Structure 1
Amino acid sequence: MSSKRSGNRDRPPAPEPLTPLIDAHTHLDVCGATDARDVAAVLDRAEAVGVQAVVTVADDLASARWVTEAADADPRVYAAVALHPTRAGALTDEARAVIEELARHPRVVAVGETGMDLYWPGRLDGCADPATQREAFAWHIDLAKRVGKPLMIHNREADAEVLDVLAAEGAPDTVIFHCFSSGPGMARTCIDAGWVLSLSGTVSFKNARDLHRAAALIPPQQLLVETDAPFLTPHPYRGAPNEPYCLPYTVRALADLLGRPAAELARRTTENACRVYGLPGCCS
């Protein structure tokens, strides 16, 4: 294992425990974990506040190998593999073969994150153009169908484009919109299609009014919660490095927004994560 970020800035204080919780989408390698001991330390901090398991997600080929090793190293860790839309240009024949092999690993529980990102092209050197992203997204959709695992979608400023590809290719049985950040119109479309919406720390941001309205529409059985760590640290620690142990902050903010008990949200989203990802025994 090797890390992408040292993660040596000050972390937020540990929240009051809230259990059970599952972090439906995180990036342990980018959180600074370098080996099995580091992974265990991150999960120990998370478990101390009620986060029982995490799904750590790849964004490139090296990361796809790393997250699979991390899932093998700790029973509290599961993995998802794909090339991030911005890296879709790296989806060579060799990369496809590696990702497909990893996607069949028993501790890889989703194909992702894949999708469309129209924010970064033109802003980020080397970012895949929309046509390349679309082709890679279509391939990942087909892979999810072939391996029988959920499709985890990254969607940034690309609502119409993501929906168009899903319609053209045919969505897999289970679709997860990670870090859902669109408004109520997109939320209604996804809900009507039976897709799952995962909310991150952005739902705690005071200026995320469209997202707040969208969150209120999500049926309890179609809701997941995530950190997307080390990014999107919830209020009041926005800008500090995020980690799975911060998930209770997001869940309590969401509970306040929806007027529901935080313990109820924790229990329901954990049940949903177990069902959606097929996690064995994680709800006990």
Structure 2
Amino acid sequence: MKIVDSHCHLDRLDLTAYDGSLDAALSAARAQGVGQFLCIGVSVNNAADVKAVAERYTDVHCSIGVHPLDVSPDSEPALDWLLRELEHPKVVAIGETGLDYHYEPEGAALQKSSFRLHLEAARLTGKPVIVHTREAKADTLDLLREADLASAGVLHCFTEDWDMARSALDLGFYISLSGIVTFRNAETLRDVARKVPADRLLIETDSPYLAPVPYRGKPNLPQYVREVAEFVATLRGVPVETLAEQTTENFYRLFPLALNT
């Protein structure tokens, strides 16, 4: 059985349990059936780090982008910078980008400008976009409709309701579920997990953040995507092997470059 961790921050993991060894952490994940990792860019400053990690391992690819909470007037990304970074052979996606009004509603205008820039890069390159959205439903969907992307992308670590998920699906996007779906108060998200079409679903850890039950409150690790897979499979009433196979197929359909490098 092969599982994909479709969103993890390998350059930010707490590796205390593995004596600081990323090799050991990835080996532990592989022992749980994880056969592919997507290491996510969040800023101009960590672009080199995620590329370096991807270059070290055949089963790791990466994305390049600037997280909405990392955008500032002094660090707004430039389109030419992003396009250059996207030429790297191990960079299979754009982001994460998007809107986060939970933590920084006052930054909405700057976040939207950055999001539009990433969506323009997606239009120019055909690479899929990884979208972070929190308490910004209307603006997120409006900008995705405005972009009208042929390559679409994924709403990662989804935490919104079925109405938003359905709207994103109608635009060609995938929905990715993290360990949040296992949290006690996440019934609205579990409803989404049951309803997303099987061919549009991904799973992730978002490690080192948001460890699933029974590890909640501890540093998250890529190996815990197994718990996410098992929980979602139970919700959907399918064997975990079926869930793993389908989400793996979905990952390579959305990120086809991960098959070729």
TM-score bracket, shorter-length normalisation: over 0.9
Aligned counterpart, 2:87: 104
Using structure 2 for the length normalisation, give the TM-score. Answer: 0.92
Aligned counterpart, 2:195: 217
Aligned counterpart, 2:259: 280
Verify the 8 A CA contact 2:161 2:189 in the aligned structure 1.
yes
Aligned counterpart, 1:23: 5
The 3 A distance-change label for structure 1 pair 260 and 166 is same
Q: In the aligned structure 2, how far is the partner of 1:173 from the partner of 1:187?
A: 18
The 3 A distance-change label for structure 1 pair 256 and 25 is same
Quote the offset at 1:101 in angstroms: 1.4
Aligned counterpart, 2:66: 83
Which structure: greater helix fraction? 2
Q: In the aligned structure 2, how far is the partner of 1:162 from the partner of 1:209?
A: 23
Q: In the aligned structure 2, how far is the partner of 1:32 from the partner of 1:210?
A: 30
Aligned counterpart, 1:62: 45
Aligned counterpart, 2:123: 145
Verify the 8 A CA contact 1:224 1:273 in the aligned structure 2.
yes
Verify the 8 A CA contact 1:104 1:147 in the aligned structure 2.
no
Q: Which residue of 52, 72, 79 maps to 2:55?
A: 72
Give 3-state SS (helix, strand or coil) of 1:252's partner.
helix
Aligned counterpart, 1:205: 183
Give 3-state SS (helix, strand or coil) of 2:249's partner.
helix
Partner AA of 2:82 in structure 1: I
Quote the offset at 1:42 in angstroms: 2.3
Q: In the aligned structure 1, how far is the partner of 2:227 from the partner of 2:237?
A: 15
Q: In the aligned structure 1, how far is the partner of 2:79 from the partner of 2:48?
A: 13
- Paired residues for 1:136-215 under 5 Å: 136-215=114-193
Aligned counterpart, 2:239: 261
Quote the offset at 1:60 in angstroms: 1.0
Give 3-state SS (helix, strand or coil) of 1:176's partner.
strand
Q: In the aligned structure 1, how far is the partner of 2:184 from the partner of 2:233?
A: 14
* CA shift digits 1:117-151 (9 cap, x unpaired): 001116xxxxx710000000000000112122101
Using structure 1 for the length normalisation, give the TM-score. Answer: 0.85
* CA shift digits 1:49-83 (9 cap, x unpaired): 10011000011112111101111111111001100
Verify the 8 A CA contact 1:40 1:74 in the aligned structure 2.
no
Report the count of equivalent residues: 255
Verify the 8 A CA contact 1:56 1:78 in the aligned structure 2.
yes
Q: In the aligned structure 2, how far is the partner of 1:192 from the partner of 1:143?
A: 21
Q: In the aligned structure 1, how far is the partner of 2:6 from the partner of 2:159?
A: 15
Give 3-state SS (helix, strand or coil) of 1:53's partner.
strand
Structure 2 unmatched ranges of 5 or more: none
CA RMSD of aligned residues (A): 1.8
Structure 1 unmatched ranges of 5 or more: 1-18, 123-127
Verify the 8 A CA contact 2:156 2:177 in the aligned structure 1.
yes
Q: In the aligned structure 1, how far is the partner of 2:79 from the partner of 2:124?
A: 13
Give 3-state SS (helix, strand or coil) of 1:106's partner.
coil
Identity %: 35
Give 3-state SS (helix, strand or coil) of 2:11's partner.
coil
The 3 A distance-change label for structure 1 pair 145 and 39 is farther
Partner AA of 2:68 in structure 1: P
The 3 A distance-change label for structure 1 pair 260 and 281 is farther
Aligned counterpart, 1:230: 208
Partner AA of 1:139 in structure 2: L
